[in-house]
Amino acid sequence: MTMDTGGTETGASDNDVLHVTLVQESTPVIITENVLDRHYQYLKDPSGFRVYKQRWLLLFIIALINFTNALIWIIFSPVTDKTAHYYNKSIMEVNWLSLVFLVASVPSGFFASWMLDTIGLRASIIFAAWLNLIGCLLRNITIFNFVSTESKYPVLLTGQIVAACGQTFIMFTPAKVAALWFADSQRALATTVASMSNPLGILAANLMSPYIVKEQNDISILLWICSAISLLGVLMSMIFVRKSIPPTPPSPSAASQSEPFFIGIKKLRKNGAFWLLTLSVGGGLALFTAYTTFLEQILCPQNYDNNFAGLSGALMIAFGIVGAFVAGLIADKTKKFSEVTKIGFCLSTLFSIAFVQLARFRGQDVLIAASIALFGCFGFAIYPTALEMAVEITYPVAEATSTGLIFLSGQIQGIIIMLIAQFIAQPLSAHDAALPKACPQGGSFDPQDWTIPNLMVNGLGVFYCVVITLLFHAKYKRMNAEMMAKAKSTLNDNFRFPNF
């Protein structure tokens, strides 16, 4: 029996149905298939799989919108003190400008996951771009004189909430676009590029904010920069994102039908490995969020200024992006997602402990910078490989469902950790209060001792590391399904009925 399937640019037939030809008969028998997915026919013929150049443009647009959303999210954290003075608010209220992203993403995350799996990738990308822009424009209103001083902070917070709702619509796309547009040998790399654009935005905020904001009135410059980049994201998504899926699928798993959202949720309930991964990787995201938000407040009581805090955050992210790309390449080449994730967890935990201990002392600039850079290098390697592993162990559950739940786990744990950390931070001792500090004196900024919150974060990091290293075991369902599909196709292509 020989088979000939739907047309691709790789030389297959232009027919849209499956041909089955018996050797002893001269007339072909035509079989039409009742398909649930428009790409299902390509499961029958691996030669029909191909990739398209426009996938890289789509990936760039996703990365740009993700970058912008992170910039909006964290732009105030490196200049917390000046933001507090500009809006005449407390440090706690300024921290809520970042914390609100975690809160808003929880309810919006379920809708984003449903939209991505049901309506499609294109709608999710465009919606996220518009929410970024609308949120930025609302924030810009606060710099005008016609807005009263009492109204500025509520309007600013509203803009943050709007952009925060857009976060989930773009953060859930990396594994989805990798699965639908990229071959299996490029999926981990595509997920890395799309997901690491978010910390790249955080890196830009850590570098740009202290450099631009020399005095509190410079806050307006930051707001206009965010708006300009958001507008670019809207224009590119509206013009260039024309479809959610390519004309033909890049792999057998892309050709198959994903589970509907609610059925996928039900299937995940019994997947113990997935929930261990969700707890640990979500916890790692929460710890990263806490470090990013509180870095200036942790360092300034020991006389490390805003510039050093921004540099430390930048090193953490820059080394992290390099580590993530290296981990993605290794995972694509070896398919050892579990091993890469476990090694990253162990090493990042060790260096986070080193950072916390060093940050208690003065004059340790080099060691602090080195420890937080290595923490980022190994910590960031976890995220994209863990997303791909989540898709592997939950297949055929839709990608946005499994990876979205991991992200939401990080947001929920982040809210809890950040609130507790602020509550248990202690006033400086009389001895420390008398020493020179880089924190602004007076006003609404009250330097605190972050030793206890930092030790709590270290303890949680060790706990997550133990869970993922000792209790988690992965079964790569998607790779197994693809290998079986290819093997079956090879057998069918080579099999012929004997002549009697």
| Residue ending a domain, choose from 215, 236, 256 | 256
Nearest to 171 by CA among 389, 381, 415, 404: 404
Q: Are residues 310 and 390 in the same domain?
A: yes
Asked, for residue 422, whether it belongs to a domain, the answer is yes
Confidence category of residue 495, pLDDT binned at 50, 70, 90: low
Q: Are residues 238 and 290 in the same domain?
A: no
Name the domain count of the chain: 2
| Cα 341 to Cα 112, 323, 336, 377, distances in angstroms | 26, 12, 9, 12
Q: Are residues 298 and 238 in the same domain?
A: no
Of 206 and 352, the structure prediction assigns the larger pLDDT to 352
Q: Are residues 228 and 280 in the same domain?
A: no
- Cβ neighbour number for residue 333 with a 10 Å cutoff: 11
pTM higher than 0.85: no
- Phi/psi of residue 3, nearest 5 degrees: -130, 145
Asked, for residue 14, whether it belongs to a domain, the answer is no
Q: Looking at residue 298, which CATH number applies to its domain?
A: 1.20.1250.20
pLDDT by residue (tens digit) across 24-39?
333 333 333 333 344 4
- Please state, in angstroms and rounded to a whole number, the distance separating the CA atoms of residues 229 and 186: 28
Q: Are residues 270 and 401 in the same domain?
A: yes
Q: Are residues 249 and 322 in the same domain?
A: no
The pLDDT, as a whole number, for residue 432 is 73
3-state secondary structure of 4: strand
Asked, for residue 107, whether it belongs to a domain, the answer is yes
Asked, for residue 404, whether it belongs to a domain, the answer is yes
Q: ω into residue 447 within 30 of 0, thus cis?
A: no
Of 395 and 135, the structure prediction assigns the larger pLDDT to 135
The pLDDT, as a whole number, for residue 9 is 38
What's 282-350 look like in SS3?
HHHHHHHHHHHHHHHHHHHHHCCCHHHHHHHHHHHHHHHHHHHHHHHHHHHHHCCHHHHHHHHHHHHHH
| Residue ending a domain, choose from 223, 256, 289 | 256
Confidence category of residue 240, pLDDT binned at 50, 70, 90: very high
Asked, for residue 497, whether it belongs to a domain, the answer is no
Asked, for residue 161, whether it belongs to a domain, the answer is yes
Q: Are residues 218 and 194 in the same domain?
A: yes
Q: Are residues 124 and 241 in the same domain?
A: yes
User: H or E stretch including 488?
Assistant: helix 477-494
Residue position matching structure tokens 């191909």: 50
Of 373 and 109, the structure prediction assigns the larger pLDDT to 373
Average pLDDT over residues 428-457: 75
Q: Are residues 103 and 88 in the same domain?
A: yes
| Residue ending a domain, choose from 200, 225, 256 | 256
Q: What's the order of all strands across the beta sheet hosting 18-21? A: 2-4, 18-21, 29-31
Average pLDDT for the chain: 80
Asked, for residue 237, whether it belongs to a domain, the answer is yes
What's 16-57 look like in SS3?
CCEEEECCCCCCCEEECCCCCCCCHHHHHCHHHCCCCCHHHH
Of 250 and 498, the structure prediction assigns the larger pLDDT to 250
What range defines the domain where residue 479 resides?
259-485
The pLDDT, as a whole number, for residue 137 is 94
pLDDT by residue (tens digit) across 51-106?
788 889 999 999 999 999 999 988 887 787 788 888 888 877 888 888 888 888 88
| Cα 232 to Cα 112, 228, 443, distances in angstroms | 22, 6, 38
The pLDDT, as a whole number, for residue 261 is 67
Q: Are residues 334 and 234 in the same domain?
A: no
* Range with lowest mean pLDDT among 88-97, 216-225, 254-263: 254-263
Tokens representing residue 345 in the block: 């967890």
Confidence category of residue 44, pLDDT binned at 50, 70, 90: very low
Query: How distant is the alpha carbon of residue 467 from its chain centre?
Result: 21
Q: Are residues 282 and 357 in the same domain?
A: yes
Asked, for residue 18, whether it belongs to a domain, the answer is no
Q: Are residues 348 and 231 in the same domain?
A: no
What's 59-81 look like in SS3?
HHHHHHHHHHHHHHHHCCHHHHH
